[in-house]
A = this chain, B = another copy of it.
Amino acid sequence: MESGGVSSGSRRRTGRPLSFDRDAALEQAMLTFWRHGYESTSIVDLTTVMGITAPSLYTAFGDKKRLFLEAARRYAGDPEAMARASDNASTAYDAAHKLLTAAATAYTGDTTPKGCLLASATASGSAASADVQRAIADIRQRTAAQLRARIERDISAGVLPPWTDAAALAGTVMAVIQGMSVLARDGTARAALLAIVEHTLQAWPTRSRAMTEPL
């Protein structure tokens, strides 16, 4: 019963090998969840785009819920990579700027669905998928917590004024990110989203905002 090493490295050593590319199938599943959401995507939809049959899907990914969570993890990327990117930014402003522009760009890709998978997939949801919604909310709140920590670091370092409301600042960035997903779904173009990003960042506090004269 110890056989099921889920993670990478250990492949099965015997038995018939998979006849399809597991990664490619997962990618297609992710795109479909991205486009239609979690509950509105049926198993038939998935097997069609993945090019496999239902039993193959179940043996390879468990069930619909686990497949979605794996697709969501693939979409959100490595959480540690996000943390590193946030830490490596020279200031919290830079981190927020990168986060916002990356979102605006990702939500308006030519070859990908509009909007954010995490925002689109679970905004609605029956009681049966409450755990899926919670998992997605966790990913969001992890991002928010990292940004907030980065802001507080800047406050301590004197880069941001001491009266800065770190929660409100991080919250605003998160709200704009999530909101841009809705706008992108409604058809708003990338340039318009980027203009929103620039406008939002104009509210970023500066040590000199109320003291010296910018520009």
Contacts and interface: CB of A to CB of B under 8 A. Distances in A.
A50 interface: no
Task: Give the interface size bracket for A toward B.
Answer: 35 or more
Interface stretch (A1-9, A37-45, A91-99): A37-45
Count the copies. Answer: 2
Interface string A99-128: 000000000000000010001111111110
B175 A141 contact: no
A125 to B, nearest CB: 6
Given A123-B124, A172-B200, A196-B175, A186 B140 contact: yes
B200 A40 contact: no
Interface stretch (A16-24, A76-84, A163-171): A163-171
Nearest to A128: B40
A38 B124 CA distance: 8
Contacts of A140: 182, 186
Interface of A: 36-41, 115, 119-127, 129, 137, 140-141, 165, 167-169, 171-172, 174-183, 185-188, 192-193, 195-196, 198-200, 202-203, 210, 213-215
